[in-house]
A and B are shown apart, each in its own frame.
Chain A
Amino acid sequence: MKNKIILIEDHDYKRTKIIDFLTANYRNIDILQAKSYTSGKDILGEKDVKLLLLDVSLPTYDKTAEESGGRFRALGGRELARRAVRINPNLPIVFITQFKSFKEKDSSYSFDDLTDVLKKDCGESFRGVIFFDGAISSWKEGLEQVLNGIGFVCEC
């Protein structure tokens, strides 16, 4: 059976980079993709998922020619992760973001503040927050570490 990974990411570029990295280095994986809070929520109930990989900030709806994306949820990924934990408390969760700070309504979070909040929300499921920068490979190492930690074998 393939290792199922849920990837919820609205940026095409970032999503492609992550998928490229995963498919290039891990065999036998099946990546389920979503591009928004709503479509992400729809696939959270999938069975036998080995990893939830998601952005912290997401639009409410998939952006299409017909839809501008609705409200931008600065912590939409957090909402999804809380739900995921309730569905499957053992599901490893990794956040991957390009933001260094977050502002939601009147609350501001630094990267470290947010890490603490997410850690608290996700409990045992929390595996880390990875900072993504297309120019630097460290996000790949971070992701590789997490994947190795949950039993994925890197082919690289």
Chain B
Amino acid sequence: MVLRFFRKRNNKSPDDILGNPFFISTLDDFHIDENLKKIIAFNNGDLLKKKLNIFLKKEKILKSLNISQDKFENIGRFKYLAKPLDNKKSWLMYECFFEAHEKKLKSFVNFRKKIEFLLIHGDLDESLVEINKWMDLYGESIWALRVKSYILSELGNTNGANDLCQSAYDRCGNHFVKVIISRIQSISVSSDTQYVFESTVVPVIKEFEAAGSYRHSAMLSGIFCPQAANHLVDISESLLILQFLTVFDVYEFIRLIIINFKSGENINPDNVPEDFDNYLCRLMEISGDDEYVNYFDSSKIDDYRSDAGKLILSNYESCNYKEVVKIFNEKRKQINNAVAYVNLVGKAKAYLKEKSEFSYENPLDALVESCSKIYSLDQNAVIAQEEIYSLAIKLNFLRKSSGIYFVGIKCFASIKNENNNFVEIAAKKTILESKECSNLTIFLGGYKVEVEDQSESNKSDRILRKKIIEQIKEGAAEDSLRKDIESISSGGSLSKDYFEIYSLFCTKFDLLEELVEFSANEICNNSISASCFPMQEMVDCIESKSLDTVSAVIVAHNYVRNYDDSKDVVLNEAFEYFLESKGFRCPSEYLATKEILDKKEIVFFRDICSIGTLDCLSIFKSGDALRAERIAILDKLFELNCVEASHRRNELEELVAQSIFDAAARQMTGAKIYVDDASIKRRVVDDVRKLLTLFNSIQDDELAVEQLMEIDVSAAEDDTASATLPRAVVTSPKSATVLKMWGVVKKAFIEDEKYGLEKNLSAEIRHGFFSNLIRSNLEEKNLLTEINIDGSYSENKIFREMNPMISPSVLESIDLVFAKFSERISDAIEKAEAWMRMKNEDSDSGIHLYLNNYELADLSKIVSKTKDPNVIVDHILSYLWTRVNESLETIRYKINTNLREDVICAFDNLEKEFSAAKNNLHFSEMVSKIQLARTDFISDVSVAAGWFYKSNQNKLPASSLEHLIDIAIKAFERVNSFKSSALFEVSGGVSEIVSEDAAKPLLIALINLFDNCIMHSGYYRATNIKINSYEDDFGVIFIEISNAISQNRSHQFTNEYLKLINSKAKSEESKEYLKLEGGSGTIKAYREIFESFKNSDIKFEFNDSLFKVIISYEK
């Protein structure tokens, strides 16, 4: 009976099945979906709409859809309703879904208004009550999860936020939804939102895109990227997969697509319905959403302004800044969109010079304070800008989130740049998302702004500024404008406004040279002010006009350091021109002529004349000459009181250390694999610290390694909504954070331009060195021929020249033999070079830096236990070196076996084929050349294999004390370039070996003490330094460093002074002093010795005008 029933049912059409209440009652959810799928697949247009509207009225059918789910265990559970689903059908299907859930949607739209109002005003307790009520009624959704986790986190209940997300994560069966949940968790519990967004969300969006899963990438971009920012991808690409979200989330996403499309954002027109406006009207009708008014009639934007908003505007126009702040504080809840006015209020506060810290109770105040800091060019302006963007990321689920991000844009866009399309799009999104907007937003969105004429305040500074801006744009006369602008500078305007207007004026009248001079002064006073100037245009001007002033150098330097480091050629050129214009070959020559420095000169010599810039001057022929120049500059700056002693000493120490290691590198003829761990660590430790904070803020999820999902990319577009992710996407937020730490360190380890592995492999091995080494021996013996443009091998000309009497047929055969040999050698080199690359997806060989599951578990444990990011970086570096060493061993093995065999085989073939081709003729010279080349090749292989060892460039090998003293003296002389005047006298000598770990600290101590001798003896460069080392009968080693003190200095060396430096160096406080201020040379020397040698001591004595330092330690 049952069998018959099913057989019969199978013959029914999906319409019959879904239209029959009895059949529906017998079907489970998946079978209902199957039938609905067929209906969608085989019907179109009005007919499909009609059918869907009928079927979706049946509760069982409606409930079987993803869109109707209200628990994370069911969200995304069901298959897609149709695949492929064209866009037209998708829009139609979503419209039907919305109609079926009309009541729910209306309720959502109303509730969202209410809760967003509470959130933006910081009424967190009430919002928590409201969202709980809402979730009791309508269940879970991505949107509700974001709202509630944000509230809990802001209430300080990060555990609660964690629990909430973790529970959703654990219950959810859809891997992609899990990815979304884990990112919501990271963002809501993090204290460094912008960093977390950039390091854990943006990479995943890019990974999906790179894997070809544009839909997933688009969905993540739509959910997480601040709406007013440029989306990383076209979010409408996600249209098909929206169907596995809840009705609220789908509605929210559709709304985003609408806003983005209308604002001119990158949306493929083929992805939106042809009758877009009508579609939106129907949507508004269904949802009751009345905030789209500006979409249809932008001319009425002004009409929607609240009374309180109007009051703020009119007071602002009249420069009643106190009133502006007062009204905002008192009446903000009467404003439909209070975010629209935070820039005005922030600016009013900047005028009032009201300062406050970064502490506030609600997003509105946070935005106002941040704006105030930016407008007043506060030293924390950069942090303030980050605060705004972080808030925009956190509150990205708000209907008016575009406005929050746009607050940050407005701070820097008060004078509209006609070419900036991005600002206009962002302004339009803000306008489309909210009825109420500020005048500046309307103006930046490309609409006309009507401002009432405030006759009383017509002469006010603000009105004058507006007038000037208009006049500049209309092309008024330069002289009259200049007068007006000058009057602004002397009036009460904010510096930022003045700089921006003056910049606009200079840009319009092609006075960028004048602006370079002006801005350099301001940048020296306050580097934050650079944000007010058109830096790129000024740098272009410096480049095209070859400007040669110190101001040009300062502007170029600021630009290269903060905006675009690829312009360092412009900085180098301006730097050279400036010195040439002054008639000097190097900065120290110029500085020597100075007795007093102005602020621009201080910035020039102290900040710009660094090694990285100085090395563009060809006067220096070596690294040591360069370092000597920097030290000469530092000494003079110190003499002129332009740098602190600790600043000078720290740089000196680093320069001497560079010289020592540079010397060590020169002696390194074998190993070429080098990564500067210390520099990499310095570079990444802050990022790892932030990730550690994030890690600690996420609650335990058992750090399951198995949560690393390896899923095939090809499955990503499968028709099931679950189990479809590009591989290597980690869903667990804790594991993702640990992996991110690994990724950050690994990236720097490989890619760092100065210190990374790839720089070494590329510049020192792959690009030429390896192939040149192998080829040069063979070419020298004329065994290789080249490939011609047509792909054929050329003839062996030299062999032919040497054997002119040989018949052409024999020569042709021999040419063929050399061609084959050349080809085999090229293939062998190419194959070998592939082993020396970083392994990627396209290759199965190369250096592979991976983290295995045991190591990930181990690293996770370390991350859980430690509070110190340095410990984590050290561990990751050790894993990386383990992998590198494994890879190097493989490369050496392959060079010594595979490459060797390949080339030996090529030689064997060459001999055999040459013997056959020479047709019994005796080419004894060539035969012996082949044999010689074979022998030479064996030695070349050993050389090449020897490159693939880790080079310890940054570590001094264990050396005798005598040798280390010698190294310290030489390095000190080299970088101070006074070998001829400063005399070192060395006596005694201990051959005791100083361990590898202690060698560097000892050198640093010695260098600090030598520097002390020079700086305090009173003889400066004519100081005579005596060094005596010996060992006593008890195995204690002594190093004595002494120098004479000039008469006019010797009075300082009283007993009290000696007692003081003896006790100060050894005190516990000195450690802190060293950390905070760099300490003194003696303290530094003592600490280095104390921490590296057993029972060590350091004493300072003064007898008979001779100052002596005695270092002692046990063997």
CB distance from A84 to the nearest CB of B (A): 12
Known: A57-B763, A67-B622, A104-B753. A79 touches B784 (CB 8 A): no
Residues of A within 8 A of B621 (CB): 38-39, 61-62, 67
Q: Is A135 a contact of B822 with CB atoms below 8 Å? A: yes
Mark contacts of A14-56 with chain B using CB atoms, 8 A cut-off: 1 yes-contact digit, 0 otherwise: 1000000000000000000000001101100000000000000
Is B630 in contact with chain A by the CB < 8 A criterion?
Answer: no
Residues of chain B contacted by A65 (CB below 8 angstroms): 666
Considering only residues 60-76 of chain A, those with a C-beta below 8 Å from chain B are 60-62, 65-68, 70-72, 74-75
- A3 contacts partner chain B, Cβ-Cβ < 8 Å: no
What 1/0 mask marks residues of chain B from 656 to 691 whose CB sits below 8 Å from any chain A CB?
000000100110000000000000000000000000
Binds A, one of B186-194, B568-576, B905-913: B568-576
- Asked if A135 and B786 make an inter-chain contact with CB atoms under 8 angstroms apart, the answer reads yes
Contact A79 B616, beta carbon cutoff 8 Å: yes
Task: Give the 4 A-B CB pairs with smallest separation, nearest first.
Answer: A13-B772, A137-B786, A41-B618, A107-B566
> What are 19 A-B contacts defined by CB distance under 8 Å?
A11-B768, A13-B772, A14-B768, A38-B618, A38-B621, A61-B620, A67-B622, A75-B569, A79-B569, A82-B569, A99-B767, A103-B751, A105-B566, A105-B753, A106-B565, A134-B779, A135-B771, A137-B794, A140-B786
Contacting residues, chain A, for B618 (C-beta < 8 A): 38-39, 41-42
State the B residues within 8 Å of A (CB): 546, 565-566, 568-569, 572-573, 612, 615-616, 618, 620-624, 626, 662, 665-666, 751, 753-754, 759, 762-763, 767-769, 771-773, 775-776, 779, 784, 786-789, 794, 822, 825-826, 829
Taking a contact as CB atoms under 8 Å apart, the answer to whether B768 and A141 are in contact is no
| CB-CB under 8 A for A141 and B615, given A72-B759, A135-B775 | no
Question: Are B546 and A86 closer than 8 Å at their CB atoms?
Answer: yes
B771–A134 CB distance below 8 A: yes
**Distance in angstroms between the alpha carbons of A65 and B669 in the assembled complex:** 10
Residues of chain B contacted by A39 (CB below 8 angstroms): 618, 621
With known contacts A135-B775, A137-B786, A68–B546 Cβ distance under 8 A: no
CB–CB A68/B665 < 8 A: yes
Cα distance A75–B829 in the bound complex, in angstroms: 26
Q: Which chain B residues lie closer than 8 Å to A104 at the CB level? A: 566, 753
Q: Closest B residue to A72 by CB, please name it.
A: B763
Q: 8 Å CB contacts to B: which residues of A87-107?
A: 98-99, 103-107
The answer to whether B615 and A60 touch across the interface, beta carbons within 8 angstroms, is yes
Question: Closest B-chain residue to A139, C-beta based?
Answer: B786
Residues on A with C-beta less than 8 A from B615 are 60, 70-71
Using Cβ atoms and an 8 Å threshold, which residues of chain A touch B772? 11-14, 134
CA distance A99 to B768 in the complex (A): 9
Q: Is A138 an interface residue (CB 8 A)?
A: yes
- Which residues of B have CB within 8 Å of A82? 569, 573
Tell me whether A78 is interfacial, beta carbon within 8 Å. yes
Partner of B789, one of A14, A42, A71, A141: A141
Judge whether A1 is part of the interface by a CB distance below 8 angstroms: no
Q: A14-B768, A79-B569, A107-B566 are in contact. Are A68 and B776 (CB under 8 A)?
A: no
- Choose among B616, B666, B759, B762 the residue that contacts A68 (Cβ–Cβ < 8 A): B666
Q: Which of B546, B572, B776 contacts A13 (CB 8 A)?
A: B776
User: Smallest Cβ distance from B71 to chain A, in angstroms?
Assistant: 46
Taken together as a complex, chains A and B put the C-alpha atoms of A21 and B762 apart, in Å, by: 26
Task: State the CA gap A110–B616 with chains docked (Å).
Answer: 24
The count of residues in chain A whose C-beta lies closer than 8 Å to any C-beta of chain B is 40
Q: Which residue of A lies closest to B615 (CB)?
A: A60
A residues with a Cβ closer than 8 A to B are 11-14, 38-39, 41-42, 57, 60-62, 65-68, 70-72, 74-75, 78-79, 82-83, 86, 98-99, 103-107, 134-138, 140-141
Complex alpha-carbon distance, A138 and B790, angstroms: 9
Q: Which chain A positions have C-beta within 8 A of B775?
A: 13, 134-135
Contact B666 A70 (CB under 8 A): no
CB B561 to nearest CB in A, in angstroms, measures: 11
Q: A41-B618, A61-B622, A67-B666 are in contact. Are A137 and B787 (CB under 8 A)?
A: yes
List, in ascending order, chain A residues with CB within 8 A of B623's CB: 60-61, 67-68, 70
Contacts of A61 in B (CB 8 A): 620-623
The reply to whether B662 and A68 contact each other, CB–CB distance below 8 Å, is: yes
Q: How far is the CB of B15 from chain A (nearest CB, A)?
A: 56
A41's closest neighbor in chain B, by CB? Answer: B618
B519 to chain A, nearest CB (A): 24
**B826→A70 contact, CB < 8 A:** no
Report how far A34 CA is from B252 CA in the complex, Å. 64
- Which one of B615, B622, B776 has the greatest number of beta carbons of chain A within 10 Å? B622
CA A67 to CA B663, docked complex, whole Å: 8
CB nearest neighbor in A for B767: A98
- Of all chain A residues, which has the CB nearest B787? A136
Query: A105, B768: Cβ atoms under 8 Å?
Result: no
Q: Which residues of A contact B569 (CB under 8 A)?
A: 75, 78-79, 82
Cβ–Cβ < 8 Å partners of A72 in chain B? 759, 763
Contacts of A12 in B (CB 8 A): 772
The residues of A that contact B787 with a CB separation of less than 8 Å are 135-138
State whether B666 touches A135 (Cβ < 8 A): no
Determine the distance from Cα of A71 to Cα of B754 in the docked complex, in whole angstroms: 8
CB neighbours (8 Å) of B762 from chain A are 99
Output the least CB separation between B309 and chain A (Å). 43
What are the residues of chain B within 8 A of A38 when measuring CB–CB? 618, 620-621
Q: Complex Cα distance A141/B665, Å?
A: 38
Chain A residues near B769 (CB-CB < 8 A): 11
Q: Does B565 lie within 8 Å of A137, measured CB to CB?
A: no
Q: How far is the CA of A104 from the CA of B620 in the complex (A)?
A: 22
Report how far A103 CA is from B750 CA in the complex, Å. 13
Given A61-B621, A106-B565, A135-B829: 10 more A-B contacts, CB < 8 Å: A11-B769, A60-B623, A67-B666, A74-B753, A86-B546, A103-B759, A134-B771, A138-B787, A138-B788, A140-B786
Q: Give bound CA distance, A72 to B568, whole Å.
A: 14
C-alpha gap A106/B826 in the complex (Å): 33
Q: How far is the CB of A134 from chain B (nearest CB, A)?
A: 5
Chain B: CB-nearest residue to A109: B566
A27 to chain B, nearest CB (A): 18
**Chain B residue contacts of A66, Cβ below 8 A:** 622, 666
* Contact status B826-A135, CB under 8 Å: yes
A39 to B662, CA, bound (A): 19
Report how far A137 CA is from B787 CA in the complex, Å.
Answer: 6
CB-CB < 8 A to B624: which residues of A? 67
A7 and B302 CA atoms in complex are apart in Å by 68
Q: How far is the CA of A135 from the CA of B826 in the complex (A)?
A: 7
Nearest-Cβ distance from residue B727 to partner chain A, whole angstroms: 25
Name which residue of chain A comes closest to B662, CB basis: A68
With CB as the reference atom, state the residue of chain A lying closest to B829. A135
How many angstroms from the CA of A119 to the CA of B572 in the assembled complex? 20
**Bound form: Cα–Cα A60–B624 in Å:** 12
Distance of A62 Cα from B621 Cα, bound (Å): 8
- Greatest chain B CB density within 10 A among A107, A135, A138 is at A135
Q: How far is the CB of B768 from chain A (nearest CB, A)?
A: 5
Q: In the bound complex, what is the Cα–Cα distance between A140 and B572 (angstroms)?
A: 33
- B789 contacts across to A, CB distance below 8 A: 137-138, 141
Report the minimum CB–CB distance from A120 to chain B (whole Å): 11
Smallest CB gap from B768: residue in A: A98
Give Cα A120 to B160, complex, Å: 58
A50 to B384, CA, bound (A): 56
Residues of chain B within 8 A of A107, CB atoms compared: 565-566
Once the chains are docked, how many angstroms separate the CA of A104 from the CA of B771? 24
Q: What distance in Å separates the Cβ of B517 from its nearest Cβ neighbour in chain A? A: 23
User: Nearest residue in A to B769 (C-beta to C-beta)?
Assistant: A11
With a CB–CB cut-off of 8 A, which chain A residues contact B620? 38, 61
Chain B: minimal CB distance from A13 (Å): 4
| Chain A residues whose C-beta falls within 8 Å of the C-beta of B612 in the assembled complex | 71
Q: Which residue of A is nearest B760, CB measured?
A: A72
B990 to chain A, nearest CB (A): 28
What separation, in Å, do the CA atoms of A11 and B565 have in the docked complex? Answer: 27
A106 to B772, CA, bound (A): 29
CB distance from B98 to the nearest CB of A (A): 46
Q: Which residue of B lies closest to A60 (CB)?
A: B615
